[in-house]
Amino acid sequence: MKKIYFVRHGQTLLNRFNRMQGWVDSPLTEKGETQAASTGKKLENVHFDLAVSSDMMRAIHTLDIILENNHHSKNITREIHKDVREIYFGSFEGVDSTLTWNIIGGPLGNHSQDALIKQYGLIKMRDFMHDADPFHEAETAAQLETRIKASVKHIQDELEDGQSALVVSHGTFLRNVASLYTDKVPYVEQPNNGSITILDVTNKPTLVSYNQ
């Protein structure tokens, strides 16, 4: 079996302030560092053959802390993959999250992101955001799906049979990973900071567990 252990980074300043945080970055809070250390303790006896983070500071710092607590990390191969970055929110980057979804959802008759997801599906939110973005730079559903599948395939191909990878990524990215690799969860909640999501990539990628 080949496995990918995805972890959402610890809490950041922009998480704390309820701001949209995609390709913009902010440091981990003290709580975020504690969350990362707690995840490291949960995974301390798991042998990883590959450790990956996105190129965002918050993901790199989280990976550092997790590996500090892992008993098998001494000679591990570390890589940075841009493809596991958070979603690109275009001109909504750094904007208050509630205000953002009021702007996006208003014309659709619903100001709640969760209600929109339940009605249209998770990945469709990307097209709604792209259309509402005055610059039309926010990532589309097609762009995101292509990026997720490419990133999973890349890591899958790096692993040999019986090996596992640790990948520190981001909340909305991981929600969409979960939705793409299972047909059993029509609505996928936001994963907690520091939570673990496992994908079996032995053959066809399949979601094993989410937000644990």
Q: Could you tell me which residues are annotated as the binding site for substrate?
A: 8-15, 58
Task: Tell me which of 33, 86, 93, 139 is the catalytic residue.
Answer: 86
Question: Is 9 a known active-site residue?
Answer: yes
Which residues are part of a known binding site? 8-15, 58
Task: Give the Cα separation of 182 and 25 in Å (integer).
Answer: 29
Q: Judge contact between 93 and 22, C-beta under 8 A.
A: yes
Integer CA distances (angstroms), 185 to 171, 176, 177, 179, 195, in order: 16, 11, 12, 7, 18
What residues are annotated to the active site?
Answer: 9, 86
